[in-house]
Chain A
């Protein structure tokens, strides 16, 4: 042995790592939530009260499927599992699983909450799940648009403006020449705004945030002005038709899942296809490899003969098309009329969903569904009439956004060159 070699097993007393500190915080929050569930949802109810969840919608093939539970009893079970999970997280022995435990815990919390809200009454669970999917569409499409751009290192904060303008153009063209014309018009509008963002940030190297904000302000101003001037004068320009649901045979008849996924308009199906296409496209094709290289290390891409600017232009414009498609959903499927500032921040929530989804298509889908769930919850609870003031309910999606962006999910790694213009010597 040498004089300086330290004894092999000298355990040094150590401070907590960031991941461990995070686990402590999250574990504590979970235990507190468990106590809350126990106290408010459990003890707050009379024993023997039952909650009824409807598992079928009117007009479905299988009718009158219901799930009836003892509300108090379920709350206690939920509280117990949450406390157990929280305890596991607090032990910090498997820090990697913190997020999984958190996700399960929050899901349980939602279940406990619904049971409490539906106590002594019935609640359409399928209805809410179906709304979740529907309401996630614009958020997910917005997030995919952001993802297309940020994967090549252009920050697209203009999603909001792209959605709004596309929704407006879709309304007008849809009213004049039919919904398909509206859809195409909306996508072209998205592409044009994407091109504006691309030119400003790639060619003129204007700060990408500022370029995006400018587009948003322009979009809001223009559409509001035109809506007041034109649409209010010519109401028939503000009533496009709607893309209706197309039920997929057999699959559409499966209880719960059928209504959730297989009885929707084309936007929903297209969204799922797009997610799959982008997932494989990004990670298994030449296009994806080149796009990601441009977002991570543009100079390296340049030195192997890839045209960095061309790749950026292409993807930013494609991102615009996706946002345009999302905008069309708003006025050609969800509602069939345009209103001032109809998007009300969906584009920004989409941006948050992109971060939450860690710049991955499948992650974005999950994130989109979480936001969709938050909005569906807000709507259905309004109908149920809980003691919670409706103002608080309408805050839900935004609160979820703030919590998500503040880093509940831990630090994700954006593309390394994100936001940086590429300058060739």
Chain B
């Protein structure tokens, strides 16, 4: 059994996303697909899954060309996909999501809930996924949601499975679990395509690594032959510095102080439960923690997007607890939100419009009641250049940009002014190594310009690389504090709720 993509070309208006790409996957093989943001990986996979029609080229299984007009055709051909942005109905149960589109029914289309539940349990048991068929999706952490996506694919008896950036939303523990699942799939004879920006992961699990740049496959290597530096260079086309360089921090005055903050989540539970912290000018404080321990609510509350139930937030001594998002923004607080598509961008707006989203009402972008689109465009063009956003022009809709490039648009917008405080959630989620290097150096630069920086990330590596001080968040409270010399194991333990960190100081 062999899956082949032959001579695939996809032309979008102004972008040649795929340029005569050839790729093949065999049974029981894991192929890692690497490439910069906008290289065309997701596009290629969407073609394979029947979501896009290629301009030219064909997909074959065992030398038989496939007719792929819709995902239904791909599913029928045994191709499954776990998307970069999950495709689950949030208000449905796990079982309902799994059966959707291929429902076991009794007479007159009556759903056979028992069979659905059994099927989920069976698959979940076979690959030790440990998923409750009756749980509602929106109550589940992303790691489990991803397992639901995997069950969905397996329930349709896919022989080839595509994972588009599966690990970018997972915590280190969940990544381990995910690799075990993938190994199980491989042992079962499934062919797997794995997209990631984390080079170490590709080296760890792939049998073969294919590298794309600007729509073409530029190299194919075996993991034994290369190391991370080499991979990065192949991807970006120049040597990349994978280590963050920074001087010792010189913390000055307290910029952000949070006292006994209490914030409710959407289900009215106390997600942040009496949390206190301080961030000083000239230091980077990293908040580590397994996702779902209140980080989201904390950041939303600090930036004015969610009203807190109790406690005080001060910025440079001023009480901003109940201030509006704009008022907080105007006090020079930059915010890189966790979910770029939900709260970072207006997807049906152009790149330019998104770039000036925070300043459209001020000179030079605004002239009283009238917009100065010239000035807005100039700014967008400059930032696209500076942050290496891959887009045919600043006038295209931001929704057509690749995931990583969307993220860069947000970072560019937020960092392009004099900021006193940076609050960044998952600032480099889904961004390629070359751009991570740049964004990290920008964050350090902000710190050196005496900004206070608060980074929230589920990625421990990123927290450890950037932070001068690390706080671990657990069940809505700070469960431990570490300096930058702490080991990942110590921090990892604290993330799971065991007491740790600096003794009373």
Q: Hey, which bits of chain A sit against chain B, CB under 8 A? A: 1-6, 10, 12-15, 17, 19, 284-287, 289-290, 292-293, 296-297, 299-307, 416, 425
Using a CB-CB cutoff of 8 Å, which residues 46-85 of chain B contact chain A?
49, 51-52, 70-72, 75, 81, 83
The number of inter-chain residue pairs (CB within 8 angstroms) is 128
- Which of A5, A10, A17, A286 is within 8 Å of B103, CB to CB? A286
From known contacts A13-B310, A287-B109, A296-B90, infer whether A303 and B81 are also in contact, taking CB-CB under 8 Å: yes
Top 8 A-B pairs ranked by shortest CB distance? A305-B72, A304-B101, A14-B310, A300-B87, A3-B504, A286-B109, A14-B309, A12-B310
Tell me whether B89 is interfacial, beta carbon within 8 Å: yes
Residues from chain B with Cβ under 8 Å of A13 in the complex: 310
Contact with A along B84-103 (1 / 0, CB 8 A): 00011111100011011111
Q: Hey, which bits of chain B sit against chain A, CB under 8 A? A: 49, 51-52, 70-72, 75, 81, 83, 87-92, 96-97, 99-103, 105, 108-111, 113, 152, 260, 262, 264, 268, 274-276, 307-311, 471, 477-481, 499-505
Q: How far is the CA of A422 from the CA of B401 in the complex (A)?
A: 19
Residues from chain A with Cβ under 8 Å of B502 in the complex: 2-3
Q: How far is the CA of A290 from the CA of B113 in the complex (A)?
A: 15
Q: How far is the CA of A290 from the CA of B102 in the complex (A)?
A: 10
Q: Is the CB of A300 within 8 A of B88?
A: yes
A312 to chain B, nearest CB (A): 16
Nearest-CB residue, chain B, relative to A305: B72
| 22 chain-A/chain-B pairs, Cβ below 8 angstroms | A2-B479, A2-B501, A3-B481, A3-B501, A4-B501, A5-B478, A6-B478, A12-B310, A15-B309, A19-B268, A286-B111, A287-B109, A289-B100, A289-B111, A297-B88, A300-B88, A300-B97, A304-B75, A304-B100, A304-B152, A306-B100, A307-B70
Q: How far is the CA of A292 from the CA of B105 in the complex (A)?
A: 17
B392 to chain A, nearest CB (A): 16
A152 to chain B, nearest CB (A): 13
Q: Is the CB of B51 within 8 A of A10?
A: no
A19 to chain B, nearest CB (A): 7
Q: Is the CB of B310 within 8 A of A3?
A: no
B280 to chain A, nearest CB (A): 15
Q: How far is the CA of A19 from the CA of B81 in the complex (A)?
A: 41
Q: Is the CB of A15 within 8 A of B260?
A: no
Residues from chain B with Cβ under 8 Å of A6 in the complex: 260, 274-276, 477-478
Q: How far is the CA of A396 from the CA of B110 in the complex (A)?
A: 41
A94 to chain B, nearest CB (A): 13
Residues from chain A with Cβ under 8 Å of B480 in the complex: 2, 4-5
- Which of B109, B110, B276, B504 is within 8 Å of A2, CB to CB? B504
Nearest-CB residue, chain A, relative to B81: A303
Residues from chain A with Cβ under 8 Å of B81 in the complex: 303
Q: How far is the CA of A290 from the CA of B92 in the complex (A)?
A: 11
Q: How far is the CA of A303 from the CA of B105 in the complex (A)?
A: 20
Residues from chain A with Cβ under 8 Å of B109 in the complex: 285-287
A206 to chain B, nearest CB (A): 16
Q: Is the CB of A3 within 8 A of B503?
A: yes
- Which of A4, A17, A304 is within 8 Å of B71, CB to CB? A304
Residues from chain A with Cβ under 8 Å of B309 in the complex: 14-15, 17
Residues from chain A with Cβ under 8 Å of B275 in the complex: 6
Q: Is the CB of A289 within 8 A of B51?
A: no
Q: How far is the CA of A100 from the CA of B398 in the complex (A)?
A: 46
Q: Is the CB of B90 within 8 A of A284?
A: no
Q: Is the CB of B89 within 8 A of A296?
A: yes
Residues from chain B with Cβ under 8 Å of A19 in the complex: 268
Residues from chain B with Cβ under 8 Å of A293 in the complex: 89, 92, 100
Q: Is the CB of A305 within 8 A of B481?
A: no
Q: How far is the CA of A301 from the CA of B111 in the complex (A)?
A: 17
Q: Is the CB of A296 within 8 A of B101?
A: no
Q: How far is the CA of A3 from the CA of B501 in the complex (A)?
A: 9
Which of A15, A296, A303 has the most C-beta atoms of chain B within 10 angstroms of its own C-beta? A303
Residues from chain A with Cβ under 8 Å of B49 in the complex: 303
B390 to chain A, nearest CB (A): 18
From known contacts A3-B504, A284-B111, A289-B111, infer whether A12 and B87 are also in contact, taking CB-CB under 8 Å: no
Nearest-CB residue, chain B, relative to A16: B309
- Which of A1, A10, A12, A289 is within 8 Å of B499, CB to CB? A1
Nearest-CB residue, chain B, relative to A288: B111
Q: How far is the CA of A2 from the CA of B479 in the complex (A)?
A: 8
Q: A10-B260, A296-B89 are in contact. List 19 more A-B contacts (CB 8 A).
A: A2-B481, A2-B500, A4-B501, A6-B275, A17-B264, A284-B110, A285-B105, A287-B109, A289-B96, A289-B100, A292-B92, A293-B89, A296-B92, A299-B87, A300-B88, A304-B101, A305-B102, A306-B101, A425-B51
Q: How far is the CA of A399 from the CA of B227 in the complex (A)?
A: 72
Q: How far is the CA of A406 from the CA of B299 in the complex (A)?
A: 31
Q: Is the CB of A305 within 8 A of B264?
A: no
Nearest-CB residue, chain B, relative to A13: B310
Q: Is the CB of A290 within 8 A of B478?
A: no
- Which of A4, A12, A284, A287 is within 8 Å of B262, CB to CB? A12
A412 to chain B, nearest CB (A): 13
Residues from chain B with Cβ under 8 Å of A15 in the complex: 307-310
B261 to chain A, nearest CB (A): 8
Q: How far is the CA of A302 from the CA of B478 in the complex (A)?
A: 42
Nearest-CB residue, chain B, relative to A14: B310
Residues from chain B with Cβ under 8 Å of A304 in the complex: 71-72, 75, 87, 100-102, 152
Q: How far is the CA of A303 from the CA of B96 in the complex (A)?
A: 15
Q: Is the CB of A5 within 8 A of B499?
A: yes
Residues from chain A with Cβ under 8 Å of B89 in the complex: 292-293, 296-297, 300-301
Residues from chain B with Cβ under 8 Å of A292 in the complex: 89, 91-92
Q: How far is the CA of A289 from the CA of B275 in the complex (A)?
A: 41
Nearest-CB residue, chain A, relative to B322: A15
Nearest-CB residue, chain B, relative to A294: B89
